[in-house]
Structure 1
Amino acid sequence: MASSQGGVGAVPALQSHHYTTGPHWSPGNSQYPHLQQQQPHTTRSLDRALEDAACSGILNLSGRKLREYPGMNYDLTDTTHADLSKNRLTEIPPEVCLFAPLESLNLYHNCIKCIPEAIINLQMLTYLDVSRNLLTVLPKFLFNLPLKVLLVSNNKLVSIPEEIGKSKDLMELDISCNEIQVLPAQVGRLLALRELNIRKNCLHMLPEELADLPLIRLDFSCNKITEIPPTYRKLRQLQDIVLDNNPMQSPPAQICLKGKVHIFKYLNIQACRMDKKPDTLDLPTLSKRCLPHIEDFYPNKNHGPDSGIGSDNGDKRLSTTEPSDDDTVSLHSQISETALSPLDFESNRQRQRGLLNQVPKIGSKQEITPSDPSFTMRRKMEHLREELEQIALLRQNIEFRLKVLLPDDVGAALMDGVVLCHLANHISPRCVASIHVPSPAVPKLSMAKCRRNVENFLDACKKLGVPQDKLCLPHHILEERGLVKVGVTVQALLELPAPRTALAAM
């Protein structure tokens, strides 16, 4: 049972990151002493990959059954992205720890037992994936890196060090499928954390400190947790909460089955009872934030609860299947357009006028001076009205071009980048080569995939000719903090001359 609004299942977004893998390669070659009986054409393929990495700064050695690092004869110190996933490495190669500019390191599905201290040389590293390895401990020095995404699922961890609180920039943390018994209170210091996956561990309780985080997705399914702390009612930005396969008592199972809104109502009531105050529910944003996506872009999604919640103990769990690595949409995928009549669109722009009318209009007859106490308030109201008008124009542009209706919370609808990528492809087909979209198995995109969608959209805008001064930044979309700037970018994209757009798409 997924108690996110309209969510599905207990299958979290684990190791489903999309990486391009080269041809499979069997060990063996005289040039590399540790490789035996290698076919000549396969060796040339490996050499070509290393030569390309020396030129491009992107090292891709995924899925080659490597037991040792083969790049000693190449100068790869300028590498920024390294993919060594799906090999047989027993350690992180020391040579890789010398890649000072390295920003992304993917070691998914190897046989790595420990993380060397030399990794602290990678002071540009923001993305680290060591999922599906043999790690038993996370070293303290790891959290001195400027990590934004840390994926360590499917290892043998029994604890998380308190030093994790130093990772102030961490936005996504996946420690699922381990043997962790206690989550340190210092996790509450990760003030940038948006996605936390602690699925399938041995947790008996949740730390109350998590209530202060700006979490968007929280997955603690398949544990032994019996209670959600009432302080979690403060998680106002939370969109998805997955808690199936836990022996829940507070809230009881029948409440959890009804979904997120009912869970939060229960927590508010419990908090009011503890404070001996009247039952006043503090739910200002739940109704608007329960629709983070446009349903028409994600056809065939199965919305329905599981049946594992409320089991007698944590051992009664649904058997689930891990999602595949390849979950991107090809160039030929089509947008599922909603059949909307002109009356539908007319009603939706009327909705925007209703929002604008909620802001008091600024009168110009009375003379106002900066020293007047009402002067500042009037300026603020006028500024707010202008922002609402620009957001309404952003909504109108997208709905008119894609023939869809956006939910009331425009920022949440655009945050994963899917709609914006489709808009770019509508303007110039194939300008965004691939788009990560949710699937029935993984109904919520990870923050890393949202970031890739947003970056692909901005790259497409730049290539199509949108001026640099009109390009918004990724965090304006990902953190919903700059809808006005996003509107400027979309408007500039739509105003591009047709011939120039067509040439850029060829």
Structure 2
Amino acid sequence: MLTEVPTELCHFVSLETLNLYHNCIKVIPDAIVNLQMLTYLNLSRNQLSSLPACLCGLPLKVLIASNNKLGSLPEEIGQLKQLMELDVSCNEITALPQQIGQLKSLKELNVRRNYLEVLPQELVQLPLVKFDFSCNKVLVIPICFRKMVQLQVLLLENNPLQSPPAQICTKGKVHIFKYLTVQACQIKTADSLYLNAIEPQHLPQPVEESKKDSDSGVGSDNGDKRLSATEPSDEDTISFNVPMSDIVEEDHIIKDDSGHHANSRKGWNVKNMDVKYREILLLIPCLPTYPEAAECDELLRIEEDTQWQADEIPQRNLESIDPQFTIRRKMEQMREERELVEQLRENIETRLKICLPEDLGSALMDGVVLCHLVNHVRPRSVGSIHVPSPAVPKLSMAKCRRNVENFLDACRKLGIPEEKLCLPHHILEEKGLVKVSITVQALLDVTTVKQALFT
């Protein structure tokens, strides 16, 4: 059992792999920098209290230093530009250096069983596929971690996490990232409302209107809902489900003559408006998520239907006079979408005598349930259905698409009009449950009418 790295070993300049596992080595000599071909280094189960800075001058792709006595990582670790795997689990590390964000090739990071209390935001800059920080003292997962789009495996058990709460963490990575996205969106929404409250003269003006497909999350079933052409950024989009009973509405909408648009803001009382926004801000942290609601960045940019008459308040003046009007209108729209999705769930569960999971979109995305539904309505409408098996519990995307297309073809043959048919991506991408609800309802309505005619 070695107590130090042999000096002769540092003369093997062509050495590519070095395994010093399970020894009693306490110090790594500076001469190791001579191994300029070294790509794999295993120092696990030794007695190292630190890693020398010269180690970061090697072209390492894998560095394993688990089960030592490391108290920290060298700041020079950012020089390991080719490092793909870093394992420093089972040490005494209390903090990760900010320079760790410079490891542009790092795919796997294991800091399990250390004394970490904070995860540096610089980790977001890494292309991590697997991240293990279980058995530490981490209280909060930074909100920016939602941007780690390449991450596939996240291990975080045995941490005193407060945000996200335990009931979210136990559900897995997808739910954790949804929670972080919700938090980010709530912060942005609250900031926007606050800024609008203290600076009413800078309230956003509506831009040129354009039609949107309901796949954006907003239920534009009949094409009469309008959104602004400006789209929210990817990192800020999120969905809300807001019961109308939680919104404090005013008894009336402030009206003004359309000819005085230039003076429409003179009647603003900043103090009163602050109170109104404060009521809304108090409600925002309690808003539950709902995958079919619209993105919150558009919360203040939804316009009213074109059915308002010209003798009433002009649309542009209405939004500039009362921004709460757009919020209330948005809440109504969300409620309508929620009711449609609940109707979809009820229709399927009632006909098929099954209980669907809470995540309705994922339950329908493979098309199996929908194919069974159309076969229940009209037997043998879909002749072949691809179903999961114990050996292959999840269908491939090709088979999912085939099921969905078979379902839609069966609906067409049963007489469902095209304008009431959803598109395949509404089901496959879990982004158009409102459209799916309309299709299913039309399917049931058509068959009900036909049965009534024959009886």
TM range (shorter): 0.3 to 0.5
What is the TM-score normalised by the length of structure 1? 0.39
- Structure of higher RCO (CA pairs closer than 8 Å, 6+ residues apart): 1
What is the TM-score normalised by the length of structure 2? 0.44
Which structure has the bigger radius of gyration? Answer: 2
